[in-house]
A and B are shown apart, each in its own frame.
Chain A
Amino acid sequence: MKERITCFTEYMCTYPKEEGSLIPLLQKAQGELGYISPEIVETVADYLQLTESQVFGVASFYSQFRFSEPGRHSISICLGTACHVVGGEILLETCERDLEVKSGECTSDMRFDLNRVACLGCCALAPVVKIDEDIHSKVNIIKLKEMWSNYE
Chain B
Amino acid sequence: MNNFTKLKKKSAAEWNALITRKEPVIYLGMASCGKAAGADKVREAVKATLKKYHLSAKLVEVGCIGTCYLEPIMDISAFGNPRVSFGNVDEKSAEAILRKYLLEKECHKGKVLGHFGTNSFDGVPRFFDQPMLQSQVRIVTKNCGLIDPENIHHYIANGGYEGLSKALQKTPDAIIDEITDAGLRGRGGAGFPTGIKWRTCRNTVSDEKYLICNADEGDPGAFMNRLLIESDPHAVLEGMLIAGYAIGASHGIIYIRAEYPLAIIRLRHALSQMDQYGLLGEKILGSDFSFDIRIKEGAGAFVCGEETSLIHSVEGKRGMPRTRPPFPAVSGLHQNPTIINNVETLSTVPHILRNGSQWYRQFGVEGNFGTKTFSLVGKIRRSGLIEVPLGTSLRKIIFDIGGGPQKEFKAVQTGGPSGGCIPEELLDTPVTYETLASVGSIMGSGGLIVMDRDTCVVDIARYFLDFIQKESCGKCTPCRVGTRHMVEILEKICRGDAEPEFLDKLESLAKLVKSTSLCGLGQTAPNPVLTTLRYFRSEYVEHLNEYYCPALVCSSLIEYSVIREKCTGCQLCVSVCPTGAIIGPRSEPHNLDKEKCIKCRACYDVCRYDAIAGNAIVITSRKEE
Contact = CB atoms under 8 A, between A and B. Distances in A.
Contacts of A137: 33, 36-37
Interface in B379-403: 379, 383-385
Contacts of B498: none
Contact of B600 (A64, A85, A94, A133): A94
A40 to B, nearest CB: 15
B259 A118 contact: yes
Interface stretch (A3-11, A14-22, A67-75, A105-113): A14-22
B569 to A, nearest CB: 19
A117 B302 CA distance: 11
A108 B250 CA distance: 51
Contacts of B37: 125, 137
Contact of B315 (A19, A62, A82, A121): A19
Interface string B61-81: 000000011010000000000
A23 B33 contact: no
A126 B449 CA distance: 12
B36 A135 contact: yes
- Give the one of B71, B220, B455, B600 with max A CB within 10 A: B220
B316 A62 contact: no
A38 interface: no
A10 to B, nearest CB: 21
Nearest to B299: A62
A58 interface: yes
Contact of A22 (B316, B447, B451): B316
A98 B413 CA distance: 33
B36 A136 contact: yes
Contacts of B318: 57-58, 61
Interface stretch (B4-12, B588-596, B602-610): B602-610
Nearest to B258: A64
Contact of A124 (B384, B417, B609): B384
B387 to A, nearest CB: 15
Interface in B16-43: 32-33, 35-37
A82 B219 CA distance: 11
Contact of A85 (B375, B378, B447, B576): B378
B316 A58 contact: yes
Given A24-B296, A81-B447, A142-B576, A125 B609 contact: no
A62 B33 contact: no
A54 to B, nearest CB: 9
B609 A140 contact: yes
A147 interface: no
B258 A85 contact: no
Secondary structure at the B interface, as helix, strand, loop or mixed, is mixed
Contact of A62 (B221, B259, B300, B447): B300
A20 B222 contact: no
B439 interface: no
B260 interface: yes
Contact of A118 (B32, B297, B302, B375): B302
A120 interface: yes
B319 interface: yes
Interface residues of A, number: 48
Contact of A120 (B259, B451, B455, B460): B259
A41 interface: no
B150 to A, nearest CB: 19
Interface residues of B, number: 63
B463 interface: yes
Interface string B570-608: 000000101000000000000000000000111001100
Interface in A43-68: 57-58, 61-65
A63 B300 contact: yes
B301 interface: yes
A125 B318 CA distance: 33
Interface in B222-262: 222-223, 226-227, 258-261
Given A61-B301, A140-B605, A125 B221 contact: no
A142 B578 CA distance: 12
A19 B300 contact: no
B148 interface: no
B449 A82 contact: yes
Given A93-B600, A141-B602, A85 B220 contact: no
A82 B576 CA distance: 25
Given A61-B301, A118-B218, A136-B36, A125 B226 contact: no
B176 interface: no
B32 A121 contact: yes
A118 B314 contact: no
B329 to A, nearest CB: 20
A136 B41 CA distance: 13
Contacts of A61: 301, 318-319, 473
A121 B226 contact: yes
Given A62-B301, A81-B413, A94-B600, 11 more contacts: A24-B297, A61-B319, A64-B299, A81-B220, A85-B451, A85-B455, A119-B223, A124-B223, A125-B33, A125-B36, A141-B605
The 4 closest A-B pairs by CB, nearest first: A81-B221, A124-B68, A80-B220, A62-B299
Interface of A: 18-24, 26-27, 57-58, 61-65, 79-87, 90, 93-94, 97-98, 117-126, 128, 133, 135-137, 140-142
19 contacts: A20-B315, A21-B316, A24-B296, A62-B301, A81-B464, A82-B221, A82-B378, A84-B460, A84-B463, A86-B379, A118-B259, A121-B227, A123-B377, A124-B385, A125-B33, A125-B36, A133-B261, A141-B601, A141-B602
